[in-house]
Amino acid sequence: MIDISERAQAHFLRLLAQQGEDGLGIRLRVVAAGTPSAQCELEFCTPSELQGDEWTVECAGFNLYVDTESMRWLDPAQIDYETTPTGSQLNIRAPRIKGDAPGEGAGLVERVQFVLETEIAPQIASHGGRISLVEVTAEGVVVLRFGGGCHGCGMVDVTLKNGVEKTLRERIPEVTEVRDATDHDTGEKPYFAKAV
């Protein structure tokens, strides 16, 4: 079930009114569903652009059409338009969009990779950085490599210990330590320059 708040419906209605086209709706679909890079896409659509097998969610003054293949990833989902002191933002919360977390029988590497890709990498990407798994040792030591804005960043040690390691150890008790294998002296565009 997709729950669309009244604020989100009002936001969509404003956007549709700005387009000045009768019968226009909103189409929602998931791109790269079931993977760590999954995301939702919204677009305006006319009835002639529909395939005919979409799920239709009737809203106040318009229809939201959900791509059939995407529906299983969006059940449940919540769409809200949130206002904060710094601005407003449309948020789509779909807990199943990236797939299900590895089960009890999953190996340590698979569980570490899942947490990295679904929780940690998006936060690091917000600063222009990248993170990749190099290895997980038999002793539970996770070795990572940073790139992008994290490569050469003056705050990478704080990110590693207070962010990445803390999250991994909370989610996966078998993780004993997290190490960085990146040569930060070769970084070209760090998010925070190192103090000289």
Per the annotation, binding residues are 150, 153
Binding residues for [4Fe-4S] cluster: 150, 153
Residue 150 contacts residue 127 (beta carbons within 8 Å): yes
Amino acid at 101: A
Tokens of 42: 């919204």
* Calpha distance 193→124 (Å, rounded): 16
* Calpha distance 80→141 (Å, rounded): 40
Beta strands in the chain (DSSP E): 2-4, 25-31, 39-45, 55-59, 62-66, 77-84, 87-93, 129-136, 141-148, 177-180
